[in-house]
């Protein structure tokens, strides 16, 4: 019987690493024949989905190599790629995919010998892992859940006496405020909440007349994130004039800022009515999972803030001349208030954590309700529905589900505002938010960035620093390693 040998997909930059591979050949530097080379114009052009797809299609390992930072043929392509690779590896290890199945490195056109050494090292590491069992393995979830990132906080029932911010007082101030904005012509339409949903859920409400404002409600069942409706309202500019106001929870306000940074909205077209929020509950009065872990209780960005029946207006200017949209000084301390102790960020051993990930995928029916409810999924055609390449098979299997959820998680990296809309909308009870939460926390710790907290800061995944850490790269050593990132050497 022929001995098993790993199949490794290698994405090589045409200007440096591919040329380095060619030099290794002409220089007769021998290396294992396990890599299948895909030539690319720049490491910055590698869609993380290609790496995920390769693993799900049966590759035992993936190797990505480009120009050394500072030597990119396109000047900064590999700087952007570096952050994407670091975050992708964090995502994969959180999902339980062994760290040593994916490797990133830099090889220049003059480093033929180094290329050969890198291939040898990658092949040895992948060989030690054995054949990939990412798809098709039998997943027996460990009921104890030891070491896995958890979202199993004890159920919290929010009663009126426990709420820091009175919904009733805010509502009593909200209604006359909305009437005033409409009567004075400050805004032409307001997006808020009204009663009428199933099981007491408050539903989105659009009003353009002061007389309709009395139907507005603000309570702990105003669960939906309303920011996505702003894109729909402004998608046909000829059909409306004037500003649109949005009644925004902290997560809604953060989403508005993210959409503004991504050029989906113009800040001047939106009036944010910020409301302090002590958390939303389900039909049983139990705090929603995302609200139990919420760090932001007061909108960091607003035009008018309603808090305990008092209004505060934004004042001053940002560097771009737009209104200052930060909370008043007496509320700053509450912005980063933790409601509960964060679970340990340490990633467990792959078998256990992969079983958890796979068991969640078994629940998924690919109804895409998570996508439809997410403010960040505004693409007209989702990547899984595009024909070239064909991401989704005719008969979706667990691999297709993994590709969709991992792909969506990469798209939300550095963009998630932790509203929990995806989890709240899922009819199958799929808990995939733990993946995005771990990545979100990792980005905050590594790049000091929280999505939607201000207009001035560049999004973490759309910016770079020349000295960004290469966490998880081949040969990277981190003296402060806590075992969470699954790197190749001390990570």
Do 314 and 221 fall into the same domain? yes
Please give the order of strands across the beta sheet that includes 243-248. 203-207, 187-194, 243-248, 270-275, 304-307, 310-313
Do 264 and 223 fall into the same domain? yes
**Those residues with Cβ within 8 angstroms of residue 380's Cβ, 6 or more apart along the chain or in another chain:** none
Among 467, 448, 468, 469, smallest CA distance to 459 is for: 448
Residue 396 — pLDDT band, cuts 50, 70, 90? confident
Instruction: Tell me the pLDDT tens digit for each residue of 360-395.
Output: 999 999 999 999 999 999 998 898 888 766 666 666
Instruction: Tell me the pLDDT tens digit for each residue of 439-466.
Output: 999 999 999 999 999 999 999 999 999 9
Do 269 and 355 fall into the same domain? no
Contact, 189 vs 208, CB < 8 A?
Answer: yes
Average predicted confidence (pLDDT) for the chain: 83
Do 368 and 319 fall into the same domain? no
Instruction: Tell me the pLDDT tens digit for each residue of 117-140.
Output: 999 999 999 999 999 988 654 333
Q: Is residue 480 part of a domain?
A: no
Find tokens 């990633």 and name the residue. 347
Top mean pLDDT of 267-281, 327-341, 342-356, 477-491 is at 267-281
The yes-or-no verdict on residue 351 having pLDDT over 50 is: no
Do 95 and 208 fall into the same domain? no
Residue 153 — pLDDT band, cuts 50, 70, 90? very low
Contact, 273 vs 226, CB < 8 A?
Answer: no
Q: Is residue 489 part of a domain?
A: no
Do 107 and 245 fall into the same domain? no
pLDDT reported for residue 29? 95
Do 185 and 104 fall into the same domain? no
Report pTM.
0.84
Domain of 243, CATH number, reads 3.40.50
What's the Cα-to-Cα distance from 265 to each of 35, 74, 230, 258, rounded to whole Å?
45, 30, 8, 9
The yes-or-no verdict on residue 468 having pLDDT over 50 is: yes
Do 119 and 179 fall into the same domain? no
Instruction: Tell me the pLDDT tens digit for each residue of 211-220.
Output: 999 999 999 9
Q: Is residue 45 part of a domain?
A: yes
Write down which residue in 129, 152, 175 finishes a domain: 129
Q: Is residue 156 part of a domain?
A: no
Write down which residue in 335, 370, 388 finishes a domain: 335
Do 233 and 304 fall into the same domain? yes
Do 324 and 361 fall into the same domain? no
Write down which residue in 76, 109, 129 finishes a domain: 129
pLDDT reported for residue 232? 82
Q: Is residue 388 part of a domain?
A: yes
Do 259 and 213 fall into the same domain? yes
Q: Is residue 19 part of a domain?
A: yes
Domain span at residue 25? 8-129
Q: What is the number of structural domains in the chain?
A: 3
Q: Is residue 487 part of a domain?
A: no
Q: Is residue 135 part of a domain?
A: no
Do 354 and 310 fall into the same domain? no
């Amino acid at each position: 019987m022929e001995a098993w040998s790993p199949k490794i997909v290698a994405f090589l930059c045409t200007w440096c690493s591919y040329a380095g591979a060619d030099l290794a050949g002409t220089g007769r530097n021998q290396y294992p024949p396990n890599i299948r080379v895909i030539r690319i114009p720049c490491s910055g052009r590698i869609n993380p989905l290609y790496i995920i797809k390769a693993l799900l299609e049966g590759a035992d390992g993936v190797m990505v190599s480009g120009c050394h930072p500072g030597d990119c043929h396109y000047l900064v392509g590999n700087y952007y790629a570096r952050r994407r690779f670091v975050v992708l590896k964090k995502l994969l290890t959180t999902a339980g995919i062994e760290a040593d199945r994916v490797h990133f490195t830099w090889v220049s056109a003059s480093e033929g010998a180094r290329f050969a050494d890198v291939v040898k090292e990658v092949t040895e590491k992948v060989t030690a892992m054995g054949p990939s069992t990412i798809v098709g393995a039998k997943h027996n979830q460990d009921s104890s859940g030891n070491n896995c990132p958890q979202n199993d906080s004890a159920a919290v029932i929010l009663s009126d006496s426990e709420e820091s911010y009175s919904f009733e007082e805010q509502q009593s101030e909200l209604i006359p405020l909305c009437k005033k904005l409409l009567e004075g012509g400050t805004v032409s339409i307001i997006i808020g909440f009204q009663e009428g949903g199933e099981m007491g859920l408050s539903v989105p409400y659009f009003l353009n007349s002061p007389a309709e404002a009395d139907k507005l409600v603000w309570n702990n069942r105003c669960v939906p994130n309303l920011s996505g409706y702003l894109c729909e309202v402004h998608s046909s500019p000829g059909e409306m004039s004037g500003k649109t106001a949005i009644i925004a929870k902290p997560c809604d306000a953060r989403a508005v800022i993210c959409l503004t940074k991504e050029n989906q909205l113009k800040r001047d077209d939106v009036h944010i009515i910020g409301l302090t929020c002590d958390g939303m509950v389900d039909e049983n009065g139990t705090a929603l999972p995302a609200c139990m872990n919420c760090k932001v209780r007061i909108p960091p960005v607003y035009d008018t803030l309603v808090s305990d029946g008092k209004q505060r207006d934004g004042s001053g200017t940002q560097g771009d001349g737009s209104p200052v949209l930060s909370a008043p000084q007496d509320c700053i301390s509450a912005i980063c208030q933790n409601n509960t102790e964060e679970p340990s960020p340490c990633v467990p051993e792959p078998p256990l954590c992969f079983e958890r990930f796979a068991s969640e995928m078994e629940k998924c029916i690919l109804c895409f309700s998570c996508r439809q409810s997410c403010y960040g999924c505004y693409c007209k055609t989702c990547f899984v529905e595009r024909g070239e390449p064909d991401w989704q098979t005719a008969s979706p299997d667990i691999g297709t589900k993994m590709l969709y959820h991992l792909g969506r998680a990469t798209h939300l990296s550095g963009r998630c505002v932790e509203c929990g809309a995806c989890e709240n909308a899922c009819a199958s009870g799929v808990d995939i938010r733990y993946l995005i939460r771990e990545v979100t926390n990792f980005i905050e710790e590594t790049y000091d960035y929280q999505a939607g907290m201000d207009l001035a800061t560049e999004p973490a995944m759309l910016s770079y620093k020349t000295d960004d850490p290469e966490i998880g790269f081949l040969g990277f050593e981190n003296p402060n390693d806590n075992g969470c990132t699954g790197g190749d050497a001390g990570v």
